[in-house]
Amino acid sequence: MTKLSVNINKIATIRNARGGNIPNVVNAAINCQLFGADGITVHPRPDERHIRYRDVIEIRPIIKTEFNIEGNPTDSFINLVLSVKPDQVTLVPDRHDALTSNAGWDTLRNRGFLTDVVNTFKKEGIRTSLFVDTDPVNIENAVITGTDRIELYTEPYASGFSGNAAEAAKPFVLAAELAKQAGLGVNAGHDLNLDNLSYLHKNIPWLMEVSIGHALISDALYLGLEKTIRMYKRQLED
């Protein structure tokens, strides 16, 4: 079954808007796991506008499922990951001022750099994943870096889903097939929600993990966190 990793960045965004420690991101991570999440994802950025580096350190001891840290592999990010040693690190080519992740890696142009970073993490036993789009060139060069997995950047799928679900999913299915044939694990994330998640999963049943934050936390405002996590988990049933 495809695992659901809950991104708790938005919990930290609400906390930071007011200051203090309400809502508490550590408690949120504990509850997400208690309610059925298969993992917790955080994406610290240099300006710490949501998850802070300190949060990552504080969250690590309470993770009983899987811990996935996303981010641009700057020196400070690499040092954080090496000190915390999550189960998985997902490398994302964010600009420092990006509102949210909005592109995958050009793995051909950045192949040497990514190979070095991937090797650094794998030497420490940390599973690696590269955030990529569906371009076969990027997937083929991801293989060369030695990464364990890729994470498909699914915003284009989400944007096209309501118009023509089959056409929107097609390049993602082809990319996932190419990755599978090359021996890569396949994750997916960005703008996945209760409307479009099940269709993607049915077309790519070998997805290993989906990472969902914004939509899931937004749904939880109306439905409650426990019910929302269970609803997302049902979308991933075979």
The rounded distance, in Å, linking the Cα atoms of 50 and 53 is: 10
Per-residue pLDDT of the chain (238 residues), as tens digits, is: 899 999 999 999 999 999 999 999 999 999 999 999 999 999 999 889 999 999 999 999 999 999 999 999 999 999 999 999 999 999 999 765 555 556 799 999 999 999 999 999 999 999 999 999 999 999 999 999 999 999 999 999 999 999 999 999 999 999 999 999 999 999 999 999 999 999 999 999 999 999 999 999 999 999 999 999 999 999 999 7
Q: Assess whether 70 carries a catalytic annotation.
A: yes
pLDDT computed for residue 102 by the predictor? 63
Q: Which of 50, 66, 190, 201 is catalytic?
A: 190
Q: What confidence score (pLDDT) does residue 103 get?
A: 78
Q: How far apart are the first and last CA of the chain?
A: 7
Q: Which of 43, 66, 151, 209 is catalytic?
A: 43
| Whether 190 is catalytic | yes
pLDDT reported for residue 100? 54
Catalytic pick among 70, 151, 155, 209: 70
**What's the CATH code of the domain at 40?**
3.20.20.70
Host domain of residue 149:
3-235
Total domains in the fold of the chain = 1
Q: Is 50 a catalytic residue?
A: no
Q: What pLDDT score does 238 carry? A: 74
Say what the pTM is: 0.95
Please tell me the predicted confidence (pLDDT) of residue 97.
Answer: 57
pLDDT for residue 95: 64
